[in-house]
Chains A and B, each alone.
Chain A
């Protein structure tokens, strides 16, 4: 039975893995539906990176959980209430503007978070994030450029991304509200938040957009309190293993 600090680490790994898996799955829904072929390939490549990162977090978590835990069980056989991802990543993909803006908010968060985690005293956590940050750097640049392209683009693209910004903004504060299992990980969350805000303002400004004033904040995902959208997503993601337990390719 893992002790308390190991449990904390397991939960922390699961929450990072869940964030990556769920946003990776949302992005993968674009496969075959991207606005142009190159961007269809880009968003699905980003999915692949994120799902790969999720696998690394899950494999490590499974090794700490022990018994016969493994990455597949963690991804395919947990209930929504056991998922620790923030609400931002589970929202339906929306239009292209919604998807790229959400990716931008998330990639900027991952980037500054992993910058810290790659120095973490836990060697495997440091190794996973040091590897991932190279991929996240690409995601951040790609999504920043798209936010600017749409915001500073046509009347239509501008109005769409303004709408996305309005919907997404109230889901961003959860990123910086630590859950109990995050508190003892030795991360400077307020430092990450400051850098995130600076980056976001820079890009929004370039995109001729303004961050809305804070309204209702939507939180709870990190503690397993999710929107109905996660259930609907998991129905799709977990379908095969739920229907044919133990099925392999």
Chain B
């Protein structure tokens, strides 16, 4: 079960929290606009306290500049649905991992031309000059790809190129 489903099941539909969940499904990451904050797995908790709404989020990378914009977008989305007092809390622990990204999110990424993250157990080693992770080309599905740079256009991505169709592409790094 994905992390977001886990959150969804913990919500009390009667308290209107499930409705907030649906609203958040339409709040997108400004850097990767096909992904919602739910797809990303950064929503930790939703509390409808009657007078106020409390959303707990967790950052992807420590320095991700999108987090402030994401908080603001969540606030604006809820306000536009009539919620008045929106409190956004940030927690760091447990640390975010790409394993919390939804399956749907991974599919959306691929369709958008970004290779989705591999499952975590495949990577995160410290070996120097380790062989490149086997990343599937989001355009032609070939596994004949190589890494151009471990760091890409944002902190969460690496740059790859396909050896078959020759297209360069972003890979959403396993983290």
Contact = CB atoms under 8 A, between A and B. Distances in A.
A138 B92 contact: no
Interface in A113-150: 123-124, 126-128, 130-132, 134-135, 137-138, 140-142, 144-145, 148
A52 B91 contact: no
A45 B92 contact: no
Interface residues of A, number: 35
A55 B62 contact: yes
A144 B126 CA distance: 10
B95 A46 contact: no
B24 to A, nearest CB: 22
Interface string B89-124: 001111110000000000000000000000000001
B63 A50 contact: yes
B146 to A, nearest CB: 13
B30 interface: no
Task: Tell me if A's interface is mostly helix, strand, loop or mixed.
Answer: helix
A9 interface: no
B61 A52 contact: yes
Interface residues of B, number: 26
Given A41-B153, A49-B155, A137-B126, A127 B63 contact: no
A148 B128 CA distance: 10
A195 B126 CA distance: 15
B150 A51 contact: no
A248 interface: no
Contact of A55 (B63, B96, B155): B63
A41 B127 CA distance: 22
A126 B91 CA distance: 12
Contact of B63 (A51, A141, A203): A51
A48 interface: yes
A123 to B, nearest CB: 7
Contacts of A52: 59, 61-64
B128 A134 contact: no
Contacts of B63: 47-53, 55
B62 A46 contact: no
A99 B150 CA distance: 18
Nearest to A60: B92
A85 interface: no
Given A49-B155, A130-B95, A38 B149 contact: yes
Nearest to B96: A131
Contact of A142 (B91, B150, B153): B150
A42 interface: yes
B93 A127 contact: yes
B126 A141 contact: yes
A55 B152 CA distance: 22
Nearest 6 interchain pairs by C-beta:
A52-B63, A52-B62, A127-B93, A38-B149, A48-B63, A42-B151
30 contacts: A41-B151, A41-B152, A41-B153, A42-B149, A42-B150, A48-B61, A48-B63, A49-B61, A49-B62, A49-B63, A52-B59, A52-B62, A53-B63, A55-B62, A55-B63, A127-B91, A127-B95, A130-B94, A130-B95, A131-B59, A131-B62, A131-B92, A131-B93, A132-B62, A134-B95, A135-B62, A140-B126, A141-B127, A141-B150, A142-B151
